Structure 1
Amino acid sequence: MPRKPLKYGLMPLLGLSLLGGCMQSLPKMEKPAFLKNLSKTDAGTDTEVSKAANAFSQPETKAQSDILDTLVARRSVLPSDSHLAHVSGVALTSSNRAAEAQLKTAKLRAEAEDKNWLPTLGPTVSLTSLGDVVAGLVLDQVIFDHGRKKAERAYAAADVEVAAVTLSQDMNDRSYTAMALYIKALRGQEKAAVGDRALKQMNHFGDIVEGRVSGGVSNKGDLRMVRTKISTLRTMRDTASESVETALSELTAMTGTRFDLAPVSGVEVNGSVEALEVIKSSAEAKRAVAQATVERAGQLPGLSASGTASTGGNSASLDISTETGLGFGTGKRIQAIESTKETAKRQVAEAREDAARSESRLRREIDSLARQETEAVALSKDGRETFKLFQAQFRAGQRSVLEVVDVYEQSTYRALDGIDAKFDKILAQLKLARDMGLLADGDTI
């Protein structure tokens, strides 16, 4: 029997492909990526994607993601002309994190899945019983799959969103780490300065007590007590000085830049935006639902068309098949898969609750530290006034030298408590901003 020409054998396959396309919600066709790059090269533009193209940017030809739009809209609470903003900017610019590559990989997978509704074409080679080799092409087109292909596209899109939120968290964490090191150096610098002044005064007291011991006015126990206080202050001062160099060295290793220390102020996180952890949980829930839909479709029979054009003849067929086959456990498996969707919803609610608790705790902590700072400053000031009074009374013979030393020591430690409260408050404010993704502008990531 004479063979039909190849073009006639492929006509049924093309018809089935068109039928399969009608059964799907087809996305808008766009020019392939390699052709886009080619046209850019012909126009004389750089084929590399520049940093101006934001990591969260989306093709205008596709449906826009609310999560990516939210990430782009985030604005840093750091004043643009502040030293903290400078440290954060340098840290972000010098970043070379794995999350950035993971987002790029997820975008490529999503772009590949975006065309999964198209028919697949592949070669086939077989050896017949007579020893003849039959080669040809196999064309497959899914006609009805219970939403599997659409869910695969949704999974890939949600995977991009998860990777994008992960990148935003990573960059905010990096910004916070750099600023925390800078603040650690500032804390050490201020405490070392207080320690230097205190040591100078305490050494003066030590000389007075030593002279009084030599003159028989005071005993050696008084001198030993003063020297112990001097040794404690010197240890504190040296520890603070060492922390400055340690923090600056670590910050330099992190950013490749040596920073000069300058005073900083706190930041205000007004209003309430959704925490990054909640946004990530929402993206993961979307991905889990899409995955559940794919798994559910695998439990049910689907309809596909296939055809072969080969040297041995042309053929076409309609196939009904399942991945796992139908059995007595199919119903329960489908129920288990459906329960995944409810689990995902509850995980989002749990993440939202945890974020609300964390935000409330940090805001309370900020208020408490602000109060502690104010009280420590006031107590330190009162201590200095009391010290001046006791010093005058000591010169008049109304106070002992140890009483004056104790008052001055307490005033010094109140000043150190004020420094700790001030910088702890700034760190708590930065933690709150970090959790909300407000340490870096979204359109610069």
Structure 2
Amino acid sequence: MQPGRFLCAIAVTCSLSACAQTGLFATKDSPDTAPRSNFAQTGTAQSEVIQTLLERRSLLSPDSAFGEVAEAALAASARAAEAELISAKLRAEAASKNWLPTLGPSVSLTDLGDVVAGLLIEQVLFDNGRRKAEREFAAADVEVAAVNLSQDMNGRVETAVGLYVAALRGDEKAAYGERALRRMQEFRRIVQGRVDGGVSDHSDLNVVDSKISGIRTTTATARDDAATARAELQAMTGQEFKRAATHLGIATPPSQAQFLSVLKASAEANRTIAEAKAGRAGLLPQISAAGNATTDGSGAGLTLDMAQPLGLGTPAAMQALEASKEAAKRQVSEAEEAARRTYSRQMQQIASLQRQEAETAALVRRSRETYELFQKQFEAGQRPVMEVIQVYEELVRREQAYIDAKYEAVLIQLQLARDLGLLADGDKI
């Protein structure tokens, strides 16, 4: 090989190696320049989907108990989806350089049995857009991985905060059950005295014991539910949290927020369309320029080749690829419809539970007033104790229903915020 040609080949090799170290997505950064978020983008090409994820803000107040639980859940995550996103970024980085010439060894055997070694440089001049489609596919693959990461992190926060809410509900129901048990025990003492005095039948005592047993079972169940949720939350985050939340509300999501499922469907559709474009281009011929430098000399020329040979089924294969594009677009429409239905259902559930909370609160007030009135009448000898016990039991049931409605509304709000990707700040994922 002539020295000039050999140096030229080395220069091309070095330039390709240098190009491989830079690109659209940064994979290694110094501590001073490392982005805080996996959604941070570098280079001129910016993804609108990833930028949308980066700009999302959590509906949980950072200085609240919910915000504390959410931060701990994110910090303790194994982040398997993060590794998938990094892998997708690296694939996109590799695909972004597919338009550059390729360099590889060339080894051939002559008629005389001699081995001729050299370097083969090939540059695609026209490929019907196949390499461009491959770059689009890799970029869309990054978007899909980014949405997956956002879904994973928001789902993790929803699970952690949901466990915290379940623990609070169990604590509150157990605490109220303990108070109800003490009051029912006092009623039992009164009934026991009436039975011992021959004023009441022993069946009245059995009725009171049955009511006490029911309240005791409900209280124990609530206590167990709280302990289970708290143990699971500690196993998830490695932390313990305070047992009382000062505020249970969640901020209202913005009206323009889009469901993560729709973003994912859109990114997957773009990926499918890019794959179809690349597949169609693979069925058509491409023109390349190739140069070969060997120990016996060098040569250059144009080549016309096809990734797949033409056949009678080629037209149908191309039609199938076009049909896959239409199917991808329809899947986005289906995802949008499903998101609208889910949003409407969740909003109706929230409104219903908030209405139930207000109604049960009003019922609790009326039941308490009725109980206090019956209690006074009993003390004045105008009411039998069994009627007072029945009214008090109704008050206990309504109090428990009020607690359930209050916390169920919070859980539905968490689900809606999770689906919208609004439980974790985009720059903290």
Matched, 1:384 2:368: yes
Aligned partner of residue 265 in structure 1, secondary structure:
coil
- How far the C-alpha of 1:128 sits from its partner, in A, is 3.4
Number of aligned residue pairs: 418
Q: Is the 8 A contact 1:269 1:429 kept in 2?
A: no
2:184 alignment counterpart: 202
- 1:17-416 mapped onto 2 (5 Å cutoff): 32=19, 34=21, 47=30, 52-59=35-42, 61-263=43-245, 264-267=247-250, 268-416=252-400
Rounded to whole Å, the distance in 2 between the matches of 1:313 and 1:392 is 114
1:21 alignment counterpart: none
Q: Is the 8 A contact 2:5 2:293 kept in 1?
A: no
Counterpart of 2:302, as a letter, is: L
Rounded to whole Å, the distance in 2 between the matches of 1:245 and 1:96 is 24
- How far the C-alpha of 1:73 sits from its partner, in A, is 1.0
- How far the C-alpha of 1:290 sits from its partner, in A, is 0.5
Q: CA separation of 1:129/1:49 partners in 2, compared to 1, >3 Å: closer, same or farther?
A: farther
1:422 alignment counterpart: 406
- How far the C-alpha of 1:312 sits from its partner, in A, is 3.2
The normalised TM-score by structure 1 is 0.89
Matched, 1:438 2:419: no
- How far the C-alpha of 1:50 sits from its partner, in A, is 6.9
Counterpart of 2:426, as a letter, is: G
Task: Point out the more displaced range, 213-222 or 333-342.
Answer: 213-222
Rounded to whole Å, the distance in 1 between the matches of 2:60 and 2:17 is 40
- How far the C-alpha of 1:307 sits from its partner, in A, is 2.3
Q: CA separation of 1:185/1:224 partners in 2, compared to 1, >3 Å: closer, same or farther?
A: same
Q: Is the 8 A contact 2:20 2:94 kept in 1?
A: no
Rounded to whole Å, the distance in 2 between the matches of 1:298 and 1:121 is 21
Rounded to whole Å, the distance in 2 between the matches of 1:437 and 1:167 is 10
Rounded to whole Å, the distance in 1 between the matches of 2:5 and 2:154 is 61
Task: Point out the more displaced range, 199-208 or 118-127.
Answer: 118-127
- How far the C-alpha of 1:315 sits from its partner, in A, is 2.4
Rounded to whole Å, the distance in 1 between the matches of 2:226 and 2:34 is 34
Rounded to whole Å, the distance in 1 between the matches of 2:17 and 2:307 is 31
Q: CA RMSD in A?
A: 2.3
Rounded to whole Å, the distance in 1 between the matches of 2:20 and 2:71 is 32
Q: Is the 8 A contact 2:57 2:426 kept in 1?
A: yes
Q: CA separation of 1:376/1:345 partners in 2, compared to 1, >3 Å: closer, same or farther?
A: same
Counterpart of 2:290, as a letter, is: S
Q: Is the 8 A contact 1:278 1:348 kept in 2?
A: yes
Rounded to whole Å, the distance in 2 between the matches of 1:117 and 1:33 is 12
Q: CA separation of 1:303/1:35 partners in 2, compared to 1, >3 Å: closer, same or farther?
A: closer
Aligned partner of residue 168 in structure 1, secondary structure:
helix
Rounded to whole Å, the distance in 1 between the matches of 2:424 and 2:186 is 49
Task: Point out the more displaced range, 277-286 or 133-142.
Answer: 133-142
Q: CA separation of 1:49/1:358 partners in 2, compared to 1, >3 Å: closer, same or farther?
A: farther
Rounded to whole Å, the distance in 1 between the matches of 2:78 and 2:369 is 53
Counterpart of 2:368, as a letter, is: R
Q: Which runs of 5+ in 1 are unaligned?
A: 18-28
Counterpart of 1:265, as a letter, is: L
Q: Is the 8 A contact 1:6 1:314 kept in 2?
A: no
Identity of aligned residues (%): 53
Deviations for 1:37-89, whole angstroms, at most 9, x for unmatched residues?
xxxx9xxxx74687643211111x32111111111111111122211011111
Deviations for 1:92-128, whole angstroms, at most 9, x for unmatched residues?
1222211000001111111111110001100122333
Rounded to whole Å, the distance in 1 between the matches of 2:7 and 2:19 is 25
Rounded to whole Å, the distance in 2 between the matches of 1:260 and 1:229 is 32
Rounded to whole Å, the distance in 2 between the matches of 1:330 and 1:393 is 92
Q: CA separation of 1:310/1:424 partners in 2, compared to 1, >3 Å: closer, same or farther?
A: same
The normalised TM-score by structure 2 is 0.92
Deviations for 1:357-402, whole angstroms, at most 9, x for unmatched residues?
1001000100000010111111111111111111122223332222
Counterpart of 1:285, as a letter, is: A
Q: CA separation of 1:248/1:49 partners in 2, compared to 1, >3 Å: closer, same or farther?
A: farther
Deviations for 1:175-204, whole angstroms, at most 9, x for unmatched residues?
111100000000000000110110000011
- How far the C-alpha of 1:34 sits from its partner, in A, is 4.3
- How far the C-alpha of 1:272 sits from its partner, in A, is 3.4
